[in-house]
Structure 1
Amino acid sequence: MGTGGNTQTFYQSETYPSRWLASNMAWARNLTKNQLGGVIFGCTTSTMKECHAKQLFGLPAQHFSYVKNIEAGLPLFLFDYSERKLHGIYEAASSGQMNIDSYAWTTDGSKRTKYPAQVQIRLRLKCLALAEYQFKPIIIDNYYSQTHFWFELDHAQASKLMSKLSSLAVASRPFIPQNPPALRTIIQRFPSNKKTEENGASELPPFKDDFAESHDSIGTSATSDDSVCSDGNNQLVDSSLCNQMIEIEKDLIYEKLKELALNGDFPNASITEHVLEPARSVMDLEHENDDDDLMTLEKRNGGSSFDSPDYPATVAQLHGEIEELKAFKQEQIRKTESLEKKLAEAEQEIHRLESRCMTLESMSYTSAGLSGDETLIESPDQFCLNLNESILIVGGYDGVSWSSALHSFLPSHDVLRSLKPMSSVRSYASVARFNGELYVFGGGTASTWYDTVESYNAVNNEWTLRPSLNKEKGSLAGAALNGKIFSVGGGNGVECFSEVEMYDPYVGRWISARSMLHKRFALAAVELNGALYAVGGYDGSDYLKSAERLDPREHSWSNIGSMNAKRGCHSLVAMNEKLYALGGYDGTSMIPSVEIYDPRVGTWMPGKPMNEGRGYLAAAVFKESIYVIGGVKTNEDIVDMIECYKEGQGWQATKLKAVGKRCFASAVVFGGD
């Protein structure tokens, strides 16, 4: 890392605070098994069918920290990202496990699933889906941004969601997932006109459309050796199953009609009355046993029953309207995606213009009143491209979105310049200056870890993809040493690593080097006087005070003196032949403390604390000063205050505002040593 420090994060554990968790900032509250009252799983419209068909829900591996706490019977819910609706009520049919189906939700089953934290499910009660405005007030404490929320539910939240959904229950019995071909044949074999059962009740003519097939849920059927019926292929099928399938088909039609009527999806009231009332009649007929009741029912429907020749036409009209609604919905989705893309482009343009304005304002100020050893910049472009006079800030999160941005920050003028962004959004990464370029490796987002590496060339303002790491990992540390780059520790949300990878440009790939003495996730590392230091972190069970050093001449790691306090998700920088461990998380709270290590003495000494306790911060040494940028407070707020430290002066809270809120980012000084 040279004089730069990179933001680090810490590992999942029940000892963490309920939010802003190590590598799990955007997906875990880390409720204990006793506190867990329910879990929301995610899907899209295209994957919901497979969830129901396989009776399986899944989440990315990082979510296993709480999926493992699921036991059979726990209430579950399914959130459709495409429509932003919550479906339920489901319950766990197994405990939470990894890779129940290793190839679920993949295109052709040739690749392993991206959602291995899985649980088998069954339907507890079929209900109408809740729109986000309906369920958001119930789980408002889980929202960490405008559109993102944690999936873990406490008992109170789960109970309220079940109560809300139960009020919209639409079936008294479970459905059969994706009717088998033989059973579909049974349903289709019944004639389209009225058929009278032994009890005199009129049955609904068969009606099959995409809606009926799309309601995949979990159910079972009893069999009997005494009563059978035959399908079109002369296969024997239980008669009770026949009756159950008929009733299910009727339920499906009635539910859809009811939902459309309640949502006002019919173009006019006359169609609503004409279609919904006959459907109600069918359900009522199940309980009518004499001709008088039937006559009363027909009178209530204006003399129309299901023998009416108008009924098939009405159903056909309804089917056509459903198809029109589907087409309309798809068109709205396309328009929404287009608008979102344009909005993102507009936001980028606004940010570029804001940076330009700040540059021009700074230039105006500079030309009016620079003095002393400050240099007059002749043009904005020359000013902004002078990277030797700035701190580079890489990626991160601003409380709303993950960033792929690379910014050049000039503290002396409080100006932030946008440079060419990385190829993908990236946080929890490590950075190192190497061969005149800036290397960024590992990291990821709230749901994905990377093994990718890319480097930035300031001469042409371009990024280049480099050989990938051997493992996907985040919350790692790294530094350049003796013509090589070292990637140290980290984890993937399930494991903590002690492994070290080394990139040798002459070999052209990352190779395994001597592992550290301890597993360290959310550690910090820096090079000083030809040695690599790795400090603090999380080993899978506790935060660490320990530190160790790699001396290339000895080709091994050795323990050095331990810090006075445990810490992870901190930063480490080297200044004036000393190491500075800054802030972080001690297992209880974000801390402001600073410790200083002098290799000549071999011990850590307390330094002056920062004004603000923070973790997930970025730090860099610039002109004999340490700048601490962003991070997260104990109360979960993202820090927008930059602090500056000079020996003999302590920490000063600056008024620099150009960077704004930022956490999970990395910082490094590009030019000069």
Structure 2
Amino acid sequence: MGAGRKTQTFMLGDRTPSSFSTTNSSATARNLRKENLGGVVFGCKNNTMKECLSKQIFGLPSIHFSYVRNIEQGLPLFLFNYNDRKLHGIFEAAGPGQMNINPYGWTEDGSDRTPYPAQVRIRVRMHCQPILEDQFSQIIMDNYYSQYHFWFELDHAQTSSLIKSFSSSPVNATAIQLHVPKVKTLFKALPNDDTRKEVDHRPSVTVEDLDWSDQPSKDVGYLGGSQPLGAYPGTETMDEEEAKVYLKLQQIALDRKKSNCPPGVFPAAVSGPSMNDDVQMEVGSASIGPSVSAEKNVEISVDSSYLESIISQLTQGMEELKNFSAEQLKKNSELEKKLVESEIHIQQLNDRVKKLELKFGPSSGSFDEQSEGSSDSRPINEAVDVVCSDADESILIVGGYNGVSWLAELDSYSPSQDVMRSLKPMSSVRSYASAATLNGHLYIFGGGNGSFWYDTVERYDPIINEWTSCPPLIERKGSLAGATLDNKIFAIGGGNGVECFWEVEMLDPALGRWVPIRSMLQKRFAPAAAELHGVLYAVGGYDGKDYLKTAERFDPREVSWTRLPSMNERRGCHSLAILDDKLYALGGYDGTEMVSSVEIFDPRMDSWMTGDPMHQPRGYSAAAVIGKSLYVIGGVHHGENILNTVERYTVGNGWEVTNLKGIGKRCFFSAVVLR
């Protein structure tokens, strides 16, 4: 039902081989810009809808946060029930879209992390009848990418049409209905001076026995109006029945004040026209409205001071509950943070123990056994030996393209031996990605598979030769740069097949998610980045119009990017390496051809100088430093000519083309030295 959205191809200018381009095709989002986002549909089922409405929070899986974060207060929202295929509305955002507003929502007992962390607080804009899919599907036809699935992002035209459709079937508000059962008791009126000596034999009704109808009403909370029950001040921490009682009593007191009734007398308007002609409410000797008609006539006696006392008690209790809830929330937040820190510390201690066992011998034979669930046929200690025995002499080669297929392989390459050893591959093929190391682990993030871009992140543990999934990036992107600074990983720039990014995301292990930080001064697709002396550097790239000479750096102490002197040549899809406390920008694409030029930035001089050129022009290669040697591996020479050569540079000796052939043809890959 409906046609899928057309994909667009993003290439490095108009001169990059199309066989290496990556298209953008997402089954989770339209990727509308913030200014083009007119509304958002959230999903639910019968068993989650009640919580959505009662707690006034809508949520989606984290993969949808790319557009949920664009939600601002007042944006129209709708709720789609997968069970009956009905769309409910009209709601609106009561605040911005965020991650984990309620970290434990929609779980069985509130102890597990929510499966729907991309969340927004909501309120009701207008109560309307739900719309069947046959009706609203015609309005959002362009959003359907399969017969039963559609994108949740709505443009302004679609949102306006949906609002018009909903507005044609509003829910009519009706007055409050009070139904008095046969034998009930209401809190008895305190006798006044005239009747103090009389005995009241009339049956009375308790508050619990009243039938507080859930029918709509224009006066009270969930019984009508434009707000859910919990939206009224003071009702957030009460359960639904307590809140209904509280609001009804509040409404009675309010109506009495509006009508200037004397103490003990309640206005007949409370009952409204829906009360039966036989209803009569008496307070002392004062009568209110008609008399109640039921199977047995019942007169209701109420004392206003008693009602006001109950309201006062409820208000006081509500404040105490609110204060208690705030304290518990603060304590839970502190405990959660400590738990995350403890888990990280435990993992670090485990890694240290395993490394000591490798050095002095394993205990209990645990490392003589194969990793549980691992598809690698080699013992763990053999895989660890590959990476850890001479870690400073090995380069980890991740993913890429070999001229025939896109790769998921992870390999450890030793230049001194010209030997490539296979380790456990990633969960999927990945190219145009970026890699960084943190706490002895390798992180690979972003990139694509030759058809669409990823937001996925994987972490490799060399101790056990295993990959694990990590929190995803905020945006799907490829040809981005990555670096590690202050025990955090930074994903810098890149693109999604349609636009170039200047945004920067940071993975903080203590938070367990990626967060946006200060954006760069320029958009940069296919830049290069590195960390030197506690500062991040981003160099070159493509801004959607031109290849760049510019460079900038991020100082976490100032939390800002600063422009640096520009390079002498434009370059993108190049490499950046650190050697002798200097930045080396290596090769790349200048908008016309691949280049072999090298430029060196000395932070102490704050200037670029021309270095010795490589022997071969190359871009989409990878660079790594081992000891005093800088290696540049593979890459694209020109057109679709993929290189299998390795060049080595040492200060004072310049570049040499080595005879190393262990890696073979490779481009669009990542390479790091795991230290």
Q: TM-score range by the shorter chain?
A: 0.3 to 0.5
TM-score with structure 1 length normalisation?
0.47
User: RCO greater where, 1 or 2, for CA within 8 Å and sep 6 or more?
Assistant: 1
Higher-Rg structure is 2
TM-score with structure 2 length normalisation?
0.46
